[in-house]
Amino acid sequence: MMTQAFYTGITGIQTNATGIDIISDNLANIDTVGFKGTGYEFSNMYQSMLNTPNESPTGSSVNSGIGTGVRLQATPLIKQTGTLIPTDRSTDLAILGDGWFGMLGEGDPIYTRDGAFTFDSNTDLVSVDGLYVLGSMGGNISDNNVLTQTLDDVPLGDINSQEKLHFPKTLTYPPEASSLAKFYGNIGTDDETRTMGASVVDPENNKNHLQIQFTKVATQTPPGSQWDVVATTKSIDDTIIYDTQTGVVNFDSSGALVSTTLSNIDNNGALVNIDLGTGFNGVTAVSNTPISSSNTANGTIGGDLMGYDINKNGVVIATFTNGIQSSVGRIAVYHFQNDQGLDRLNGSRFQSTSNSGDAIFFQDANGNNVIGSDITNFNLEGSNISMSYGLTELIILQRAYDANSKSITTADEMMQKALNMDA
């Protein structure tokens, strides 16, 4: 029994010392962003089961065991989400729920919950230690840094096609020349010149003025009314006239538009369709109704890049000086069959192992890859270890360490007494 006490005490000291090291490492990383703490599980060594037959007067059917020590059974990953830390950067991200950000290291991908990202000097999205963040590009940026398409969203590609997210320092939103201008309003029935106007964009990224003048035809043919119409495209300062087109507009006796011979006009190299509407949907000539005018015209003035932001869905959005925004990439969120099998490299950095399985993407009902968790920007996930938890565990482990130390001292004293008795 005295030898057993030695084994029990020694293994207890060793195991509790390991537990103290684990908790100390957790406390050392209490300020590490995205840190997942490590727990500990102990088990008996060389346990012998004792059974008291229940046939005896004092018998019992309950098994009890006697062990000769303790060992560290496992060091599980504590998966609890850490406290969110508000920041002032849209590139700071935190995952709400399951999942890991992927980063490109020198070898295999590295996975982390640390979403403290930023754009480096080459406008690659990177971690604070310079690792490239993995995701899917939108494919809507040309080689000469021109946006080729405005995207509301960027789908998450195949897991093996994820790449570093690179975004150019300069990006141009090309001008989209106007091709349609539609007019609404009432010109009345009085013999007075009425004017309507719209802003239209030309291929040279100029915002020009499309002006339409309505003048009542001198000789009217009842029923209804007829108006001469003159359309002009010119620069916004009226110094350059690009084109002039004329036509005739016919209204019926109720003021509804019946027909027009005015169709298209040149806007510095772009043809603009002039739509005056039909019936009462467009331009009308109704008496005893206020004179009004409004318009809608397509086309967009070009713009230069103002910057990149990341929204809560992990989508990277480019904002331009013309007020237009477009998605250009998406950050990937990886998942594992067994998160406990991940191999910790340091702090909040992990790599996959045969125990964790390969990284996977979640999919929706249609088979499309999705990030599988919500992402919040302007936030970071703090360590999931609290100071109170760590200090409490240290006290428990320290007392267990002291108890095992005393058991060794007691066993040694008993051994000395036994030897003295033999003497």
Would strands 48-51 and 63-66 be described as parallel, antiparallel, or unpaired? antiparallel
Q: Tell me, what's the pLDDT at 396?
A: 85
The verdict on residue 302 lying in a domain is: no
Give the C-alpha separation, 13 to 24, whole Å: 16
The verdict on residue 278 lying in a domain is: yes
Band the pLDDT of 144: cuts 50, 70, 90: very high
Q: Which residues contact 288 (CB under 8 A, 6 or more apart)?
A: none
Residue 47 has pLDDT above 70, yes or no: no
pTM listed for this prediction: 0.73
Band the pLDDT of 35: cuts 50, 70, 90: very high
The neighbour count for residue 169, using CB atoms within 10 Å, is 10
Q: State the sign of the Cα–Cα–Cα–Cα dihedral 87, 91, 96, 101.
A: negative
- Domain boundary pick from 242, 264, 297: 297
- Domain boundary pick from 243, 274, 297: 297
pLDDT in tens, 156-209: 999 999 999 999 989 999 999 999 999 999 999 999 999 999 999 999 999 999
Residue 295 has pLDDT above 80, yes or no: yes
Q: Let me know whether 195 and 288 are in one domain.
A: yes
Band the pLDDT of 54: cuts 50, 70, 90: low
Q: Tell me, what's the pLDDT at 337?
A: 94
Number of domains in the chain: 3
The CATH number covering residue 226 comes to 2.60.98
Residue 63 has pLDDT above 60, yes or no: no
Q: Are 223 and 208 in contact (CB under 8 A)?
A: no
Q: Let me know whether 26 and 58 are in one domain.
A: yes
Q: Let me know whether 74 and 43 are in one domain.
A: yes
pLDDT in tens, 197-241: 999 999 999 999 999 999 999 999 989 999 999 999 999 999 999
Structure-token pair, residue 69: 């020590």
Q: Let me know whether 285 and 188 are in one domain.
A: yes
Q: Where are the beta strands (DSSP E) in 276-420?
A: 277-278, 281-284, 292-297, 303-310, 315-320, 325-331, 333-334, 343-346, 349-351, 362-363, 369-370, 374-377, 379-381
Residue 7 has pLDDT above 70, yes or no: no
The verdict on residue 241 lying in a domain is: yes
Band the pLDDT of 52: cuts 50, 70, 90: low
Average per-residue pLDDT in the chain? 88
The neighbour count for residue 328, using CB atoms within 10 Å, is 23
Q: Let me know whether 133 and 167 are in one domain.
A: yes
Q: Let me know whether 222 and 325 are in one domain.
A: no
The verdict on residue 304 lying in a domain is: no
Task: Report the percent of the chain where pLDDT is more than 90.
Answer: 65
Task: Give the lowest-confidence range in 242-256, 328-342, 377-391.
Answer: 377-391
Q: Tell me, what's the pLDDT at 64?
A: 58
Residue 48 has pLDDT above 60, yes or no: no
Boundaries of domain holding 116: 89-173+309-381
Q: Let me know whether 263 and 335 are in one domain.
A: no
Q: Let me know whether 253 and 224 are in one domain.
A: yes
Band the pLDDT of 312: cuts 50, 70, 90: confident
Band the pLDDT of 53: cuts 50, 70, 90: low
The verdict on residue 33 lying in a domain is: yes
pLDDT in tens, 385-420: 888 887 888 888 788 777 777 777 777 677 777 777
Q: Let me know whether 293 and 219 are in one domain.
A: yes
Q: Let me know whether 195 and 158 are in one domain.
A: no
Residue 153 has pLDDT above 70, yes or no: yes
